[in-house]
Homo-oligomer: A and B are copies of this chain.
Amino acid sequence: MARQPYLQINVNKHNAGRSLSMAQIVSAVKEQITLEHVAPGCRLPPVRVLAHQLGMSKTTIQLAYDELVAQGLLESTERVGLFVASDPKPVPVAPETLVVPPPCMALPATAPPAPARPPTEGMLNLGSVFIDPALLPHEKLSACFRSVVKQPQAYAAYHDQGFPPLRQAIAERLQARGIDASAEDIVITAGSQQALDLVCRVLKQKRIATENPAYSHGKALFEMNGLETLPLPLDPFCGIDPDVWERQLATSPALLYLTTNYHNPTGYSYTTSELQQILGWSQQYGFGILEDDWGADMLSFSEFRPCLRARGGSGVLYINAFTKKLLPSLRLGYIVGNPDVTPALVASKVASCLGLSTLMKAALFEFLDRGYYETHLKQLQAELDQRYENCLAALRDTMPEGVQWTTPGGGPSLWVELPAGVDRERLRDRLAQRHVTISLSDNAFFNQPHLNGFRLGYAMLSQDDMRRGIEILADTLRQEIARR
CB distance from A164 to the nearest CB of B (A): 13
Size class of the contact patch on chain A: 35 or more
Could you list 25 examples of A-B contacts with CB < 8 Å? A2-B176, A3-B304, A5-B304, A8-B305, A12-B238, A12-B406, A16-B417, A17-B392, A17-B399, A54-B407, A55-B407, A93-B280, A97-B279, A97-B280, A99-B282, A99-B308, A100-B286, A102-B255, A105-B204, A115-B350, A116-B157, A190-B353, A329-B357, A331-B356, A357-B357
A17, A39, A136, A142 — most chain B CB neighbours (10 Å): A17
Q: In the complex, what distance in Å separates the CA atom of A255 from the CA atom of B37?
A: 26
CB distance from A222 to the nearest CB of B (A): 9
Within 283-306 of A, Cβ neighbours of B (below 8 Å) are at 283, 286-290, 300-301, 303-306
Instruction: Say whether A376 faces chain B, with CB atoms less than 8 Å apart.
Output: no
Q: Across the interface, which residues of B come within 8 angstroms of A6, CB to CB?
A: 303-304, 306
Closest B residue to A348 by CB, please name it.
B224
Closest B residue to A358 by CB, please name it.
B329
CB distance from A305 to the nearest CB of B (A): 6
Mostly helix, strand, loop or mixed at chain A's interface? Answer: loop
Tell me whether B101 and A385 are in contact (CB under 8 A).
no
Q: Across the interface, which residues of B come within 8 angstroms of A155, CB to CB?
A: 133, 136, 138, 141, 327, 329
Instruction: Say whether A90 faces chain B, with CB atoms less than 8 Å apart.
Output: no
Q: Across the interface, which residues of B come within 8 angstroms of A36, CB to CB?
A: 271, 273
Tell me whether B352 and A197 are in contact (CB under 8 A).
yes
Interface-side segment among A67-75, A146-154, A437-445, A474-482:
A146-154
Tell me whether B97 and A5 are in contact (CB under 8 A).
no
Instruction: Say whether A432 faces chain B, with CB atoms less than 8 Å apart.
Output: no
Instruction: Say whether A53 faces chain B, with CB atoms less than 8 Å apart.
Output: yes
Tell me whether B389 and A55 are in contact (CB under 8 A).
yes
Tell me whether B55 and A156 are in contact (CB under 8 A).
no
Instruction: Say whether A201 faces chain B, with CB atoms less than 8 Å apart.
Output: yes
Contacts A2-B176, A157-B329, A313-B99; is A12 near B354 (CB within 8 Å)?
no
